Amino acid sequence: EVQLVESGGGLVQPGGSLRLSCAASGFTFDDYAIGWFRQAPGMEREGVVCFSSGSGDTYYSDSVKGRFTISTDNAKNTAFLQMNSLKPEDTAVYYCALGSAQIPVTYSEYYDYWGQGTQVTVSS
């Protein structure tokens, strides 16, 4: 059984940083796609940063480009989302998701596994 456990969310002031982690069990970071998505109250879930090991491409939404970075520690089957220069509009529940390397990474419906989500609140 594949399980994803996210951590690292919290309350941060505007301009601050957070690093989210997504630890996977039962899944090997070998041939994979990983996506970080977020959902704010009353809003649809949106892809923030998504990566495919198949193409090697990384997608960044325009709203986070230059501020967020995705990385993985394949030996530990863990993915990270480094978030810098946080803004109040970044406030949302953040989810990590895993799927096969062949999926269109920006489409949430193609991912097979999801974490439980972690709350990120940016406020002074």
Of the chain, the percentage scoring pLDDT greater than 70 comes to 100
Q: Over the stretch 65-102, which tens digit does the pLDDT of each residue have?
A: 999 999 999 899 999 999 999 999 999 999 999 998 88
Reported confidence tier of residue 103, pLDDT bands at 50, 70, 90:
confident
pLDDT the model gives residue 111: 95
What average pLDDT does the segment 108-118 reach? 94
d(CA 77, CA 40): 27
Q: What angle do CA 69, 74, 78 make, to 5 degrees?
A: 60
Confidence check: pLDDT of 33 > 90: yes
Euclidean distance between CA atoms 70 and 81, whole angstroms: 5
Quick one: what percent of the chain has pLDDT higher than 90?
Answer: 81
Does 118 score more than 90 pLDDT?
yes
Dihedral angle at the C-alpha atoms of 28, 5, 65, 16, nearest 10 degrees?
A: -140
Compute CA 109 distance to the chain's CA centroid, rounded to the nearest angstrom: 15
Query: Which residue, among 32, 28, 20, 23, has the nearest Cα to 3 in the 3D structure?
Result: 23
d(CA 89, CA 114): 23
pLDDT of 60 > 90? The answer is yes
